Structure 1
Amino acid sequence: MKQGIEVVGVYVRDQEEALAFYVGKLGFSVHTDAGNGDYRWLTVQHPDQPGFQLGLFRPGPPVHDAATAQALNALVAKGAMPPLVMTVDDCKTTYERWSAAGVEFNQEPTERYGTVDAGFRDPSGNGWKLIQRAGR
Structure 2
Amino acid sequence: MISFTSTQLWVHDQDAALDFYTNKVGFVVRMDVTVPEMGNFRWLSVGPAHQPDISIVLMAIPGEPIMDDATRAKVEELTGKGFAGTLFLTSEDVDADYATLVERGVEFIEKPSDQIYGRDSSFRDPSGNHIRLMTAREMA
Q: Same fold (TM over 0.5)?
A: yes
TM-score normalised per structure 2: 0.89
Q: Which runs of 5+ in 2 are unaligned?
A: none
Q: How does 1:27-66 map to 2 (within 5 A)?
A: 27-36=26-35, 37-61=39-63, 63-66=66-69
Alpha-carbon contact 1:106-1:121 (below 8 Å) kept: yes
Which residue number corresponds to residue 18 of structure 1? 17
Q: CA-atom RMSD, angstroms?
A: 1.5
3-state secondary structure, aligned to 2:75? helix
For 2:66 and 2:131, locate their aligned partners in 1 and report how far apart those are by CA, in whole Å: 25
For 1:38 and 1:69, locate their aligned partners in 2 and report how far apart those are by CA, in whole Å: 18
Alpha-carbon contact 1:42-1:57 (below 8 Å) kept: yes
Q: How does 1:1-136 map to 2 (within 5 A)?
A: 2-36=1-35, 37-61=39-63, 63-113=66-116, 115-134=118-137
Alpha-carbon contact 1:103-1:120 (below 8 Å) kept: yes
For 1:18 and 1:126, locate their aligned partners in 2 and report how far apart those are by CA, in whole Å: 10
Q: Which runs of 5+ in 1 are unaligned?
A: none
For 1:46 and 1:64, locate their aligned partners in 2 and report how far apart those are by CA, in whole Å: 30
Alpha-carbon contact 1:60-1:66 (below 8 Å) kept: no
- After TM superposition, give the deviation of residue 4 of structure 1 in Å: 1.3
Q: Number of matched residues? A: 134
3-state secondary structure, aligned to 1:81? coil
TM-score normalised per structure 1: 0.91
Question: Which letter maps to 1:59?
Answer: I
